[in-house]
Amino acid sequence: MLKSQLLAQLLKLLASGLLLISFAMLSRRRTQRLITLFAWQGAILFLSTSLVAWDAGLTELWYSAALTLLLKVMALPWILHRLIQKLGAQWDSEPLVNIPVTMLVGLVLVIFAFGLAQPISMMATTITRHTIGIALAVILLAFLMMITRRKAITQVIGFLAMENGLFFAATSATYGMPMVIELGIALDLLVAVFILGIFFFQIREQFDSLDLHHLESLREE
Amino acid sequence: MSYVLGWMTATTRPEHALQFLVVLIAAWVVLAPVGLLRPHSLHLVAHILFPLGAIVSAAVAMQAGIDLIAGPTPQTMILPLGLPDLPFHLRLDPLSAFFLLLLGAAGAGISIFSAGYFRVGEGSAPALHGLQYHVFLASMAVVILADDAYLFMVAWETMALSSYFLVTSQHRIPEIRRAGFLYLLMAHVGALCILLTFGVLQGGSWQFTFAAMRGASLTPFWATTAFTLALLGFGAKAGLVPLHVWLPEAHPAAPSPVSAMMSGLMLKTAIYGMLRTSFDLLHVQFWQWGAAMLALGLFSALFGAIFAAVQTDMKRLLAYSSIENIGLIFAAIGLSILFAASHMPLFAALALTAALLHALNHALFKSLLFLATGSVLHATQQRSLGKLGGLIRRMPWVAVLALVGTLAIAGLPPLNGFVSEWLLLQSFLFTPQLPHAFVNMLVPLGAAALALTVALAAYVMVKFYGIIFLGQPREANLSHAHDANKLERLGLGWLAAGCILLGVLPQLALRVAGPVTGQLLGKTVAPAVSLWRIAPVAPEQASYSGLIFLAGIVGVFGITFVLVRLIAHGRTRRTAPWDCGYPWQTARMQDTAEGFGQPIRHMFGAFFRMERDLPAPDDVAPRYRIHVEDRFWRTIYQPVARSVQRIADGISILQGGRLSVYLLYSFITLLVLLVFVL
């Protein structure tokens, strides 16, 4: 009993860490720092998934945790790191909306997410049910980051952070998705990063910049 | 060696037929990517892979034939492939065996021809041709063997895609890309209809095996819906009017062996699908289905024949002729449904036999003709009939073999086209016994339309053969034309031999079609009264003997030859023909493709949309131009295309070009959905 309560508290702590990192990502402008934050997010995800796996005694969740560690803490940050080295894109330009306003919008989103998560938490029976709101908030904040940034690489990090939120939501609500789906998503992520990496080079080749507003000229008139 | 022989005999035993066929299909699949090892080596693809593919085709045909003659019981098999809980089911029954026989027999000829046909520098690399070609063959075989909707659709789409890549092999030419797109579009619209058909057929059981669909009981409304969707879906693939527009575009765009495959084999998979759904899965319920199909089929046949008559491109002409033949097959199936639903299984079996035989015959002679156009194309670089002519001297082999195909498609005895058209006409003659007065009155009209179509088809073939091979060469460079190479001749010869064999001994075809009608209708047309003649219903009513015709033709020909030799021997002389006192004749003063089609264009003017530029009488350099167009383009396709364009334009307001705005759309959608759902 004590153990499970302690675990629940620990999980809540980790979840709040996740939320904090999401806000930090919203406020950062250096790409390098964003990647580090993303790796930290992955690490927290790995810890929380392992805890849930230990508590529920589910082998499949152990696999998911291992996958998270390999993919999100090691492989993807490393690939992204290499990418920005090659592209020389250490700095994002000024975001479309300035950072304080973004943070305020983020706050509203968190409240919205918590409000939404209330009925789901009532229904769920998992140890992590109170963290569903946070998971939802992480998804929305990552989405917000994608909207407000200009550079292609920041958007990809936002996309990956969003997937982290989804993964967290899945573990909190139902102890994770079926293994087949999880493997599929992991593969999709990896492929997406590779393809986007290729796109980055193409975009830079074409426009001499990674700034996405150049893409507006592609629109068919 | 003896071990191999033992294995061969063991695998050809009827009870292992399905396993053996699966091994053969797997052999195609294995052959497909081998060429990629050396993508630009023509030698590997042409001299090893295509001949091996041909051997596999012949083995498929042989196995299917043995299976049909040995009187098989349906064999089923579950492949350990596919998704979890959704394995692939296979089934070999007489219907699928018959179509495999067709596929293998014609496919062997086409493969051998392809071995000699493909050249470096024409379209995609040889290895890609080999890959797509064998995948195409294998997917068609799987379509025919599939016993659940899932595998059927997977194979069906594979077939559409592999043939799309074959059609667009010369994708650098814009017209070919356009033709390919049109083909892909129609293939997908058709596939969608077929998917919906299966959705209706499962009848609420959510079981997608054909076995479950056979057992499902549908209300008349849903059964009719399923039939209509199937007619649309398979009709789009087969080229039934008004879903035919892709055929005259895609067939000329493709390399000739591919045109032959598409016209000879792929259209038949649509026929197979139609038979499978309407007879096997839906158990033929209402005569109205047959009446609708009969009307559509006859209209397509007439439409195809009329349009073929005015074409000036030899491959377009053959494509329209395919529409005509598919129309005839659909008409025969419609008639069969009409009879079967009116409880006259024997006549239904007669009409169905006609449909099956015509499908088999069409696979043989249409492939033969498309391949012949391929040889002509290689020899002359010309597809336009107006620039050909007199090729019988330059290309005697192709000319003689194409003549066999031309006579067969024109429906002349003792070749195979005559047999099936004769059987179809026979089955029309029994329609007065139908219990529906209204249909009784209309069907004679159908018989007349059939007779007209067949006559027009013969006219078209006179034009096809006459303009290309007879007369004088219309262009100077035609004198450099060379005959087909040995492999090409072998492929053409194989198909021509098939045309002759099935024409002289139609008993063989009736024998293999018998089990199919037995399976679908429980009746079989009397297979053979004797070895030398066929009498489908009763010998005193009508019978036909290919052998007698052959003997008559050979006899008359021989006697004439001998007489001419005896009388005129040694006294032949060559002179110029009488030139009407006009000494400045050129090779262009012959009947042209346009001129030959003019009477038809005049008589059936209502079918066409014509644009003509007539030169003024005082023009020094007169040019005559005519453009004949399909009315369906303007009445059906363009309005649809325009409304799609309009809707797309309306939606494109959303496309501002800014990525963050796009993301905002998704974000707002997500928020709204979250609020809405929770």
pLDDT surpasses 70 at A55: yes
Chain A contact present for B664, CB below 8 A:
yes
Least CB–CB distance from B660: residue in A96, A119, A219: A96
Kindly list the residues from chain A whose CB atom is less than 8 angstroms away from the CB atom of residue B664.
147
Task: Please report, for residues A51, A184, B56, B450, the alpha-carbon distance to residue A69 in angstroms, rounded to integers and kept in the order given.
Answer: 14, 16, 51, 72
Q: Which of A102, A121, A122, A146 should be substituted to probe chain B, the one whose Cβ sees the most B Cβ atoms within 10 Å?
A: A146
Query: Chain B residue with minimal CA distance to A136?
Result: B674
In three-state secondary structure terms, B81 is strand
Q: Which residues contact A178 (CB under 8 A, 6 or more apart)?
A: none
Q: Which of B367, B603, B608 is nearest to B493 (CA)?
A: B367
Q: Report DSSP state, residue B80.
A: E
Kindly list the residues from chain B whose CB atom is less than 8 angstroms away from the CB atom of residue A149.
660
The structure tokens listed for B303 are: 């439409």
- Region of B436 on the Ramachandran plot (φ > 0 left; ψ -120 to 50 alpha; else beta): beta
Distance (Å) from the alpha carbon of B642 to chain A's nearest alpha carbon = 18
Same domain? B337 vs B427:
yes
Buried b (16+ CB within 10 A) or exposed e, B118-139: beeeebbbbbbbbbbbbbbbbb
Kindly list the residues from chain A whose CB atom is less than 8 angstroms away from the CB atom of residue B648.
none
- pLDDT score for B531: 64
The answer to whether B103 and B528 have CB atoms below 8 angstroms apart is no
Q: Which of the four pLDDT bands, split at 50, 70 and 90, describes residue B1? A: very low
Instruction: Name the amino acid, one letter, at B325.
Output: N
Query: Chain B residue with minimal CA distance to A143?
Result: B667
Chain A contact present for B670, CB below 8 A:
yes
C-alpha triplet B166, B172, B176: angle, nearest 5°: 55
Residue that is last in its domain, among B152, B178, B205: B205
Inside any domain, residue B50:
yes
Same domain? B472 vs B345:
yes
- What's the first-to-final CA gap in chain B, in angstroms? 73
**Whole-number Å distance between alpha carbons of B232 and B314:** 28
Instruction: Name the amino acid, one letter, at B119.
Output: R
**Are A155 and B659 inside 8 Å of each other by CB?**
yes
The answer to whether B502 and B360 have CB atoms below 8 angstroms apart is yes
Q: Which of the four pLDDT bands, split at 50, 70 and 90, describes residue B629? A: confident
pLDDT surpasses 70 at B279: yes
Kindly list the residues from chain B whose CB atom is less than 8 angstroms away from the CB atom of residue A148.
660
Inside any domain, residue B347:
yes
Q: Which of A125, A190, A130, A195 is nearest to A163 (CA)?
A: A190
Q: Is the peptide bond before B74 cis (omega within 30 degrees of 0)?
A: no
In three-state secondary structure terms, B27 is helix
Interfacial B residues in 597-656 facing A (CB < 8 Å): 652, 655-656
Kindly list the residues from chain B whose CB atom is less than 8 angstroms away from the CB atom of residue A215.
657, 659
Per DSSP, the residues of B604-643 read: TGGGEEEEEEPPPTT-SS---EEEEEEHHIIIIIHHHHHH
Query: Chain B residue with minimal CA distance to A109?
Result: B671
Where is pLDDT greater, at A34 or A198?
A34
The answer to whether B17 and B66 have CB atoms below 8 angstroms apart is yes
Inside any domain, residue B352:
yes
Kindly list the residues from chain B whose CB atom is less than 8 angstroms away from the CB atom of residue A136.
674
Q: Report DSSP state, residue B435.
A: S
Q: Which residues contact B151 (CB under 8 A, 6 or more apart)?
A: B82, B88, B89, B90, B142
Find the chain A residues whose C-beta atoms sit closer than 8 A to any C-beta of B.
96, 112, 116, 119-120, 136, 140, 143-144, 146-150, 155, 212-213, 215-220
Q: Which of B262, B470, B259 is nearest to B375 (CA)?
A: B259
Query: Chain A residue with minimal CA distance to B663?
Result: A147
Same domain? B516 vs B658:
no
Distance (Å) from the alpha carbon of B170 to chain A's nearest alpha carbon = 27
Distance (Å) from the alpha carbon of B487 to chain A's nearest alpha carbon = 45
Query: Chain A residue with minimal CA distance to B677?
Result: A116
- pLDDT score for B642: 94
- pLDDT score for A221: 56
pLDDT surpasses 70 at A135: yes
- pLDDT score for B4: 45
Query: Chain B residue with minimal CA distance to A95?
Result: B660
Kindly list the residues from chain A whose CB atom is less than 8 angstroms away from the CB atom of residue B663.
143, 146-147, 155
Q: Which of A120, A122, A147 should be substituted to probe chain B, the one whose Cβ sees the most B Cβ atoms within 10 Å?
A: A147
pLDDT surpasses 60 at B2: no
Least CB–CB distance from B659: residue in A116, A212, A220: A212
For the ranges A124-133, B62-71, B88-97, B469-478, the lowest mean pLDDT is seen at A124-133
For residues A63-87, give the mean pLDDT: 87
**Whole-number Å distance between alpha carbons of B329 and B450:** 11
- pLDDT score for B171: 86
Q: Which of B303, B320, B163, B291 is nearest to B231 (CA)?
A: B291
Same domain? B165 vs B304:
no
Task: Please report, for residues B272, B295, B372, B378, B412, the alpha-carbon distance to residue B321 in angstroms, rounded to integers and kept in the order given.
Answer: 20, 18, 15, 22, 16
In three-state secondary structure terms, B146 is strand
- pLDDT score for B659: 77
- pLDDT score for B375: 92
Q: What are phi and psi of B588, to 5 degrees?
A: -80, -10
Distance (Å) from the alpha carbon of A105 to chain B's nearest alpha carbon = 13
Model confidence pLDDT, tens digit, residues B196-228: 999 999 888 888 899 989 888 889 999 999 999
- pLDDT score for B72: 63
Task: Please report, for residues A219, B64, B134, B419, the alpha-carbon distance to residue B368 in angstroms, rounded to integers and kept in the order given.
Answer: 49, 22, 19, 18
Strands B86-92 and B75-83: antiparallel
pLDDT surpasses 90 at B142: yes
For the ranges B118-132, B377-391, B410-424, B452-466, the lowest mean pLDDT is seen at B118-132
Q: Which residues contact B400 (CB under 8 A, 6 or more apart)?
A: none
Same domain? B51 vs B108:
yes
**Residue B405 lies in domain:** 286-524+544-562+590-595
Inside any domain, residue B176:
yes
Same domain? B611 vs B548:
no
pLDDT surpasses 60 at B10: no
Least CB–CB distance from B659: residue in A116, A136, A215: A215
Q: Which of B655, B661, B678 should be substituted to probe chain A, the one whose Cβ sees the most A Cβ atoms within 10 Å?
A: B678
**Are B656 and A216 inside 8 Å of each other by CB?**
yes
Q: Which of A92, A114, A143 should be substituted to probe chain B, the one whose Cβ sees the most B Cβ atoms within 10 Å?
A: A143
**Percent of chain B whose predicted confidence (pLDDT) is above 90:** 50
Q: Is the peptide bond before B506 cis (omega within 30 degrees of 0)?
A: no
Buried b (16+ CB within 10 A) or exposed e, B48-68: bbbbbbbebbbbbbbbbbbbb
Mean pLDDT of chain B: 88
Residues in chain A, overall count: 221
Instruction: Count CB neighbours of B228 within 10 A.
Output: 17
pLDDT surpasses 70 at B130: yes
Same domain? B628 vs B557:
no
**Percent of chain B whose predicted confidence (pLDDT) is above 70:** 95
For residues B160-176, give the mean pLDDT: 92
Same domain? B552 vs B642:
no
Query: Chain B residue with minimal CA distance to A116?
Result: B678
Model confidence pLDDT, tens digit, residues B235-256: 999 999 889 999 999 999 999 9
**Are B667 and A147 inside 8 Å of each other by CB?**
yes
In three-state secondary structure terms, B534 is strand
Same domain? B651 vs B513:
no
Q: How many domains does chain B have?
A: 3
Mean pLDDT of chain A: 82
Q: Dihedral of CA B14/B20/B24/B26: which sign?
A: positive
**Are B657 and A215 inside 8 Å of each other by CB?**
yes
SS (H, E, C) B484-526: CCHHHHHHHHHHHHHHHHHHHCHHHHHHHHHHHHHHHHCCCCC
Which H helix or E strand runs over B138?
Answer: helix B126-145
The structure tokens listed for B34 are: 């081998």
